[in-house]
Chains A and B, each alone.
Chain A
Amino acid sequence: MQINGIQIDDTFAEAFNMRGTRVIITAQNHKWAYHAANAMTGFATSVIGCGVEAGIEREMTPDETPDGRPGVSILMFAMGSKVLMQQLETRMGQCILTCPTAAAFSGMASEDMISLGKHLRYFGDGFQTSKLIGGKRYWRIPVMDGEFLTEETTGMVRAIGGGNFLILATSQPAALAAAETAIEAMKTLPNVIMPFPGGVVRSGSKVGSKYKTMFASTNDAFCPTLKGVTRSELSPEIESVMEIVIDGLTFEDIAASMKIGIEAICALGVTSDVKRISAGNYGGKLGPHLFKLHDILKGTAA
C-alpha cells in the first residue's frame, strides 16, 4: 500500500491488555494544573521501568471541570490493577498533594473504583474532613496553602497498551519532524496518550537479549547503524526510525489515533523524506490485540 508516495507496510502493531484510569487535575490556572499534571505523569513512559505509562490526555476549560477551575485530564495505564493503584496513590501523594492550589477528581466511573485520595487523607493527621456531595465522597486535607481537595476514588477500566507505528525516513531530522506532525494530530483525539517524551520513542525494543539479565533489548532490525551486521528491516536509504506508542481505553480509540497519525505523516508527502510506515510486533504471539496498518487506514480494523 502507498499513500502519497509513502509505503505502508503490510504488518501490524501488537498490543496488550492493561488497566487504565483517568484523573482530572484542576488548579488556580492552567499553569499550575500543568505543573501538577506534568509531575504526576513524569517518569511514566514504559511499564518496564516506571510501573505505569501515563500522559496528559487534554486540557479542560473551567466549564468542564468539577470545581469550575482550569484543569487537565490525565490517563494512566499499568499491567495490573495492583500496580496501578499503588502508583496512583504514590503519584497523588508526591505530585498533586504537594502542588500549590491543585485538586484531583475522578475522571471516570466504573464498577471497580480505586483509591484516589482515600488513603491520602491520613496526611491530615485527624484534621481532615470528608464531604459527601452529590453521592461522591471528597476529602478536604488542611495544607499550608489552604485546603487540598480530592475525590475519594476514581474509576478503573480494562484498557489496551502498546499500539504503535514506526516512521522510517532518510534522515533523523526528517523522521522526528514527521513524528511531531503525527503527535500534534493524535493529541486532538480523546481516550489515548502517547507516553514517551514528546510522544515519540527512539529506542524501540525487542523481546530478549544476549545478556541473561535483560528481558528486552534494542530492536536491531530497525537500527540504521546495524544494517550490514544484522537481519535488518531497513533499506539502504533509511537513516533514522522513530516510533510512536499509544495507550488507549479501547481498541477503537487506538486504531483511530494510529489512523490520524499515519495520515498526517502521509499528507506531508515524499518531500518529507519519510519513505515507509511500519509497526512493531512480536510475531503476533504475545499480545492479544493486533492493529493491522492496512485495515486501520482503510477503516476496516476490528
Chain B
Amino acid sequence: MSALTFTLKVPLQQSVNCSVLTPDNLAGKTIAEIAAIKLIKGKNQLLAGDIFDISGTDTQQLCFKNTTAKLDYIGANMNSGSITVEEDAGAYLGFGLKNGEIHCKGNAAAFAACNMRDGLLKINGNAGDFLGAGSEGLRKGMLGGTVIVKGNVGDRAGDQMRRGLILIEGNTGDYCGSRMVAGTIGVLGELGAYTGFNMHRGTLLLKKQPQLHATIQDCGIHTLPFLSLLFKSFAQYETQFSKLDSMRVQRFVGDLAYSGNGEILVLKT
C-alpha cells in the first residue's frame, strides 16, 4: 500500500485548518470520501479535494506534498500512524499529538508540538515561537512525547512545559524554558536572553553557556549520574544529541524569583 498523499494544488492566501486529516479520522475512508471532507479556512469552509490532489491508499501513513506555512494544525490530536510533511508546515503542527510520528522536512511555524501528549515530532528545518508550549489560556504546555528540531527555534520554546523531551540542534530565541514545570529541553546552539525565565522545575541541557539573568544561580561543576540514562535514551533518535557522553556539567538553579528548582546544565568537556 502506498502512503495516502495530499498534494497542495492551489496557492493559499489564507491559512487552512488541516486538523481532520489524521490517520485516525481517515481510517476506512475512500479517496472520494476524503476529498469531500470539509476543512476550515478563515470564516469559510472548503473541501479537501478543492485544494489537494489526493492519491494513495494507506490511511495509517499520510504524506503532505507541495506544502506551505498556510497549512495549520497538521497531525492535530493524532493517535496513531505517521505523517510526513515534505516542505513547510503552518502553525500548530502536531497540536495535542497523542501517539504516532510526524516528520516535517521543512520549517514549522509557531506553536509546533503545542499541548503535545506523546509520540514523536521531527522537524528538519526551523520552528517558530512557542515550540512545545500550551495553547492560549492553558496553564500547562507540552505534556509528554519527544520533539526533535534540527534547525533553530523561536522565542518561548517549552513555555510552561510539563513533561517530555525537546531536542534542539540549532539556536533558540529568547525565554527558552520560560515558566517550565518539568521535562527536558536540550539545545546545542546559542540561546537568547532570559533563558529559564520563571522556570519552576525541569532541566535545560545546553552545550553553550547562555547569558543568564540574576535569579538563576551557579551551583558549580558536577558529574551527574542520571545523565548516562538520559544519553542512553537519546540513542534511539537520529540526532546530534546521541553523540553526547560527558556527564560533567555546570549546574545553575532557578528561577529564584519564582522560588524555582529548575536546573540549567551546561555541558563541560
* Closest residue of B by beta carbon distance from A131: B226
Is there an interface contact between A131 and B230, defined as CB atoms closer than 8 Å? Answer: yes
- Option from B201, B226, B263 in Cβ contact (under 8 Å) with A149: B226
Q: Which of A75-83, A132-140, A155-163, A269-277 contacts B (4 or more CB under 8 A)?
A: A132-140
Is there an interface contact between A67 and B225, defined as CB atoms closer than 8 Å? Answer: yes
Q: Which residues of A contact B184 (CB under 8 A)?
A: 131
Interface size class of B (residues with CB under 8 A): 10 to 19
- Option from A66, A127, A146 in Cβ contact (under 8 Å) with B229: A66
B222 within 8 A of A: yes
Q: Which residues 87-122 in A have Cβ within 8 Å of B in the complex?
A: 103
Interface string of A181-204 (1 = CB under 8 A from B): 000000000000000000000000
Q: Which residues of A contact B201 (CB under 8 A)?
A: 129
B233 within 8 A of A: yes
Q: Tell me the interface secondary structure of chain A in the complex.
A: strand
A219 within 8 A of B: no
Q: A126-B261, A127-B261 are contacts. A133–B225 as well, Cβ < 8 Å? A: no
Interface size class of A (residues with CB under 8 A): 10 to 19
Q: Which residues of A contact B163 (CB under 8 A)?
A: 132
Q: Which residues of A contact B228 (CB under 8 A)?
A: 67-69
Of listed B182, B224, B225, residue having the most chain A CB within 10 A: B225
CB distance from A79 to the nearest CB of B (A): 34
Q: Report which A residues bind B (CB closer than 8 A).
A: 66-69, 103, 126-127, 129-134, 138, 140, 146-147, 149
Q: Report which B residues bind A (CB closer than 8 A).
A: 163, 182, 184, 201, 203, 222-226, 228-230, 232-233, 261, 263
Sample of 20 A–B contacts (CB below 8 Å) = A66-B229, A66-B232, A67-B228, A67-B229, A68-B228, A69-B228, A129-B263, A130-B182, A131-B226, A132-B163, A133-B229, A134-B232, A134-B233, A138-B226, A140-B224, A140-B226, A146-B222, A146-B223, A147-B224, A149-B225
